[in-house]
Amino acid sequence: MRLSSPVSSQGSLLLVELKSARALTEVKGDWGGRSVPFWQEDGREATQAGLLGIDLEKAPGSYELKVTAQNAAGGKVVCSAKIAVRAGKFATERLQVGKQFVEPNPEQIKRADEERQRLREIFDRVTPERLWNGKFRVPLDGVSAGGNFGRRRILNGQPGSPHSGMDFPVPAGTPVHAAQRGRVVLAEELFFSGNTVVIDHGLGTYTFYGHLSSIRAKAGDPIEAGAVLGETGATGRVTGPHLHWGLTVNRARVNPLEIVALLGKD
Ligand SMILES: [Zn+2]
């Protein structure tokens, strides 16, 4: 078993590769009670790969990844690795925003809670097939870096939840592309993230696109890699136009640029 990095930190993503002399089947990973789905790498019969997401609020410490599989001879293969999770280096920012977002009225609180619950239910579902095929890309043309991932926010003096995605400050109206192939599972306006699209890429991997000015995708539809989902805007809770891009891997909120680094290369 090989890990893309010997150490990890909050909000990071690891690629786990399992190589064997003979083809493996029934590969299952367990990471603290959460399953880690594996897929067979194209044209590499003896290699299985899995993505291990380290949630941005996972307590630092040492955790065991356990993988079991069957080999062609019917034998059971078991291997494990200890993975050290370090604290992430995240900035703390103090922000003044419109009062209605810090002190939402009871109706807005109810709406935001319902939407959070719906998103949680979406991210809990694991589509057993890998829907992506090929490299992951940054959703904006010609952009490779963003900011604010994991930032701890203090809104009008009140600590808020950590910023779970990457922000790309680009002019409103910039086309937003699907990072990879998948199925649109949400395409609508939400209280905090404004016009939002969520794509299921299979195997518990989801990308999230927020604050769009318009949506050109429909929930339930399959989507190809690179297809335009909408345009950037400033809908929802924002201080200016930007794309908020998020990645959830088996319920762990991770830095989306890491999937481009791991699965975006040749
Ligand atoms: Zn954001």
Give the separation between CA 128 and CA 190, rounded to whole angstroms.
Answer: 27
Give the separation between CA 101 and CA 104, rounded to whole angstroms.
Answer: 5
pLDDT at 101: 63
Q: In angstroms, what is the span from residue 3 Cα to ligand 1's centroid?
A: 29
pLDDT at 237: 85
Q: In angstroms, what is the span from residue 147 Cα to ligand 1's centroid?
A: 9
Give the separation between CA 157 and CA 85, rounded to whole angstroms.
Answer: 30
Q: In angstroms, what is the span from residue 166 Cα to ligand 1's centroid?
A: 6
CB 22 within 8 A of CB 75: no
Q: In angstroms, what is the span from residue 227 Cα to ligand 1's centroid?
A: 21
pLDDT at 99: 66
Is residue 19 scored above 80 in pLDDT? yes
**What is the 3 state secondary structure string of 128-139?**
CCECCCCCCCCC
pLDDT at 67: 94
Q: What is the pLDDT of residues 147-171, one digit of tens each?
A: 999 998 887 888 888 999 999 999 9
Q: Which residues pair with 68 in a beta bridge?
A: 28, 78
Q: How far is CA 2 from CA 14, 44, 96, in A?
A: 10, 15, 45
> CA end-to-end span of the chain, whole Å?
21
Is residue 124 scored above 90 in pLDDT? yes
In this structure, are strands 61-71 and 158-159 parallel, antiparallel, or unpaired? unpaired
Q: In angstroms, what is the span from residue 60 Cα to ligand 1's centroid?
A: 24
Q: In angstroms, what is the span from residue 79 Cα to ligand 1's centroid?
A: 38
Q: In angstroms, what is the span from residue 28 Cα to ligand 1's centroid?
A: 33
Higher-pLDDT residue of 54 and 19 is: 54
pLDDT at 41: 79
Q: In angstroms, what is the span from residue 241 Cα to ligand 1's centroid?
A: 10
Q: In angstroms, what is the span from residue 215 Cα to ligand 1's centroid?
A: 17
Looking at the chain, the whole-number percentage of residues with pLDDT higher than 90 is 75
Q: In angstroms, what is the span from residue 152 Cα to ligand 1's centroid?
A: 12
Q: In angstroms, what is the span from residue 172 Cα to ligand 1's centroid?
A: 15
pLDDT at 102: 65
Residue 242 is classified by DSSP as B
pLDDT at 265: 61
pLDDT at 129: 94
Q: What is the pLDDT of residues 204-232, one digit of tens each?
A: 999 999 999 999 999 999 999 999 999 99
Give the separation between CA 155 and CA 211, rounded to whole angstroms.
Answer: 18
Q: In angstroms, what is the span from residue 2 Cα to ligand 1's centroid?
A: 33
71, HSE (Cβ side, Cα atoms, 13 Å) = 12
